[in-house]
Amino acid sequence: MDDIAMNPPGREPGVTLWRSIVRAIEGEIADGTLVPGGRLPTEAQLATRFAVNRHTVRRAIEELSRGGLVRVEQGRGSFVAEDVLDYAIAPRTRFSEWIRRHNKEPSGTVLELREMAADQTIAGGLGLRVGAKVVFVERLGLADERPVGLSAHYFPQARFPGLYVALRDGAGISEALALFGVPDYRRQTTRVTARLPQPTEASLLRMPRNRPLLVTENINVDPEGRIVEYGVSRYPTPRVQLVFEP
């Protein structure tokens, strides 16, 4: 049974210790004392403030995390959850446009770029034979320096023989495709699933391991309907929700 705070200073009489901490932090989030994205005091600081042990503080943080008010980043601490961004799954979706619609600054980091042989999944997405060469780029997308998406992009090398070099030299994906005669492309299909993040994904997206990822598999085509890209994107549910537009 939970301990009951009988009448310690700063707490409501008869309220479970960890619930009293939850209420206090909820109030500070509501009144703006703690702002979205801001770091909460450490467990030790909260334990001292509320005159409780760290186990009680940890229980309160877990409850706040389950309620979506707080996100816990392994090794970095606890933070006030930001507003959830609506990501519209429309025929023409571009990362920078999406982020700017939310009045945030988009940016990104290329984590990996290489040429590789297509496995069965990639080959099926691109309509190629297994083992065909593809250009692979993995990118971490950020909004106001906060990670909101981790995406893997695959392109047929035979159709875009200089794409690897263009991307290596700093061109964006849309810019690079335009160099090879694809000035625009649209989404043909999107398949959505959810799963828990792998350790590397949780670290890159700064999200707890016990909150799910939204995973989309996308096939993009040119104006003639030919496949130009197969992609897999992962979004942290604490910060992103998918919206399907007709």
**What was the pLDDT predicted at 32?**
83
* CATH tag for 4-80 (out of 3.30.43.10, 1.10.10.10, 3.40.50.1950, 1.10.357.10): 1.10.10.10
Domain layout of the chain by residue ranges:
4-80, 85-244
Compute the distance between CA of residue 131 and CA of residue 96 in angstroms, rounded to an integer. 33
Phi-psi domain of 165 (left: phi exceeds 0; alpha: psi -120 through 50; beta: other): alpha
pLDDT tens for each residue of 57-83: 999 999 998 877 888 877 788 988 877
Parallel, antiparallel or unpaired: strands 227-236 and 213-221: antiparallel
CATH architecture of 85-244: 3-Layer(aba) Sandwich (3.40)
DSSP 124-138: HHHT--TT-EEEEEE
What is the model's pTM? 0.73
Confidence band of 84 (pLDDT split at 50, 70, 90):
confident
Q: Please tell me whether residue 183 adopts helix, strand or coil conformation.
A: coil
Rounded distance, CA 6 to CA 30, Å? 26
